[in-house]
Amino acid sequence: MHVTTSPVLLIHGNCSSSGFWAPLLRHLPSDWRVVAPDLRGYGDGPTLAIDATRGVRDFADDIVPVLSELYEQSGPVVVVGHSLGGGVAMQLLLDHPEKVKALVLESPVSPYGFGGTRDLDGTPNAPDFAGSGGGSVNPDFVRLLAAKDRGTEAEASPRNVMRAFYAAPGFDFGDDEELLLDTMLSTVVAEGQYPGDGTASENWPGTAPGTRGVLNTIAPRWFNLSGITELPVKPPIVWIRGDQDAIVSDASLFDLAQLGKLGLVPGWPGEDACPPQPMVGQTRAVLQRYAEQGGTYREVVYEGVGHSPHVERPEDFAAVLGEVTGS
């Protein structure tokens, strides 16, 4: 019999819900205490406006009661965060380090946010953090997401985006495809929700972060979690990613600077003025400092895997969780 020494809290990513963990849950022992809440604006989560000037704290604060209850019942919790959920997990670590036994970051947003920064220290490309935030998303995708489109005719349809970017190219979601698409389509598209507002900018590409909604929560204007390196209590961190991740990458196809470099967004001012964000490099640099200042971390890289290792390699992911929980 498997016996876990710690409960597990699973935090899903952007444009998904707790249902996105289903492929992993089938491979976890039945006696584990696993809790997977829906973030606000996704799945069955509450539809509450998101104050992006707090970074991801609105999301994290919503989950604190769950974390606290698990902690009071069973002791420190293994917190697992996917993509945006990785940022929420890091925020929980910053705010409640004593309640976290270990942190598992799966394809996490960089500790310096998403878009608009140029180096391993998270230096912005422009003073107003242009190139990040709610105005940086493809409006066709937003429109089709709001319409709950399940087709494939439009290039930016949610199904096509999931097939192209949520996993490595050519990955077959099989019988899980409709379920996982359902999680995408559960996203609340509305003012103050997804994607969020933007502001006009004199700097390329002409849009900077707003103050409301999902994508602004991870804009570097409001989001910087590199302070985890200064925590007096540093639980171990496991960083899991795929080597073919097209979303969180040093050459992300969701980074406007990278798209400009590829000629897909006009007017790109060049590498010196607006280089693509080194997302993986930034995460590694912060975790190395975390280790140098008394913590530990391990990087697990799966070859041929994209943005969702727990979907693409669920048995391997479950094995890592078994090691972390001590079961």
Please provide the DSSP assignment of 120-189 as one string.
TT--BSSTT-TT-SGGGS-HHHHHHHHTT---SSSTT-HHHHHHHHSSSTT---GGGHHHHHHHHHT--B
CA–CA distance from 73 to each of 65, 68, 99, 321 (Å)?
Answer: 12, 9, 11, 20
**pLDDT for position 269:** 97
Strand pairing class (100-106; 77-82) = parallel
Q: How many residues does the chain have?
A: 327
pLDDT of the chain along its 327 residues, tens only? 344 468 999 999 999 999 999 999 999 999 999 999 999 999 999 999 999 999 999 999 999 999 999 999 999 999 999 999 999 999 999 999 999 999 999 999 999 999 999 999 999 999 999 999 999 999 999 999 999 999 999 999 999 999 999 999 999 999 999 999 999 999 999 999 999 999 999 999 999 999 999 999 999 999 999 999 999 999 999 999 999 999 999 999 999 999 999 999 999 999 999 999 999 999 999 999 999 999 999 999 999 999 999 999 999 999 999 999 986
**pLDDT for position 326:** 85
Please give the domain boundaries of the chain with CATH numbers for all domains. Answer: 8-127+223-325 (3.40.50.1820)
Query: CA 59, 60, 64: angle at the middle one, nearest 5?
Result: 125
Amino acid identity at 276: P
DSSP letter assigned to residue 21 = G
C-alpha torsion 181→142→12→36, nearest 10: -70
**pLDDT for position 324:** 95
**pLDDT for position 6:** 84
| Of 282, 253, 109, 287, nearest in space to 168 by CA | 253
CA–CA distance from 280 to each of 55, 155, 229, 236, 277 (Å)?
Answer: 20, 27, 17, 19, 9
**pLDDT for position 327:** 67
**pLDDT for position 160:** 98
